Chains A and B, each alone.
Chain A
Amino acid sequence: MAGRGKLIAVIGDEDTVTGFLLGGIGELNKNRHPNFLVVEKDTTVNEIEDTFRQFLNRDDIGIILINQYIAEMVRHALDAHQRSIPAVLEIPSKEHPYDAAKDSILRRAKGMFTAEDLR
């Protein structure tokens, strides 16, 4: 594992996860936890948050892809994540287009300058 780099994890709806697994990022065997979570109608917010935190704490995951509408459910956990790795990327879903106003990275960038700085 050390020789092949870090994994890309994905938390999303069925189509998003299926698509990225088709792309070749999936890891699943009897010894290791999967690096993906399919969020369905009956998936609870606690399950999503637990999985997200597990991914953050794993040292073999470099990037976490998450549908933005799911990221909204665990926004507090995303905003609390200050480390650069794993990088968290918010992506749109079929039913919820991407909204830049909700993205954690862009909201931080928006708050870069105050009125005083621009004087």
Chain B
Amino acid sequence: MAAADLRAELDSLVLQLLWDLEELESKRAALNARVEEGWLSLSKARYAMGAKSVGPLQYASCMEPQVCVCTNEAQNGLQKFRVVRSGSQIPEEVGPCEAALRRRKGLTRIPEPEPFSASPNPLNWFGILVPHSLRQAQASFQEGLQLAVDMASLQIQINWGQSQLRGLQEKLKQLGLGAA
């Protein structure tokens, strides 16, 4: 009976793995398409701005990431990635900070809260007015990043599934040897 339960568990695990692999391949095809679109747009931008105008020479000497990933742990202990974008603004508070009479003379300046330091747009490295193709390239690669993050989560899931599969296969072998 234990062997039958193990086989059922093995079957559902294999099905889940195959589904994950199919999902991974479909996301990979989409990522490859986005990246190819991005390269084409970069080439168009180079055509418009000059061959050496879009490349490492234009990279900023100081960069802050606009996109990061956070890991969430699921119930089974699996890590899952989630995209986090910077530049989210804190709503500005309008109105007096303190309930106090304002003085006309010698008004004490209330220090303004520091603005949230949003990372500058990498498009700015290439100039003030950039061609539309460069914006399109940025959009394609941003979509590609979301797909890459999803693929990374799927890869972790597939690796976990493979280790579970090996464990179950081992248990089944031992049961088979024990019965013999």
Contact = CB atoms under 8 A, between A and B. Distances in A.
Contacts of A18: 42, 54-56, 59
A60 to B, nearest CB: 9
A6 interface: yes
A34 B61 CA distance: 10
B67 A24 contact: yes
Contact of B81 (A4, A30, A87): A87
B142 A112 contact: no
Given A24-B65, A63-B149, A85-B71, A94 B39 contact: yes
Contacts of A62: 68-69, 71, 81, 152
Contact of A19 (B38, B71, B153, B158): B38
A23 B144 contact: yes
Interface string A95-119: 0001010000110110010000100
13 contacts: A8-B65, A8-B67, A14-B55, A18-B54, A19-B141, A24-B67, A25-B65, A26-B122, A85-B71, A87-B155, A89-B151, A89-B155, A105-B158
Interface of A: 4-8, 14-30, 34-35, 38, 62-63, 65, 84-85, 87, 89, 91-92, 94, 98, 100, 105-106, 108-109, 112, 117
Interface of B: 17, 21, 24-25, 28, 31-32, 35-36, 38-39, 42, 54-56, 59-71, 79, 81, 84-86, 119, 122-123, 134, 137-138, 140-142, 144-145, 148-149, 151-153, 155-156, 158-160, 162, 165, 169
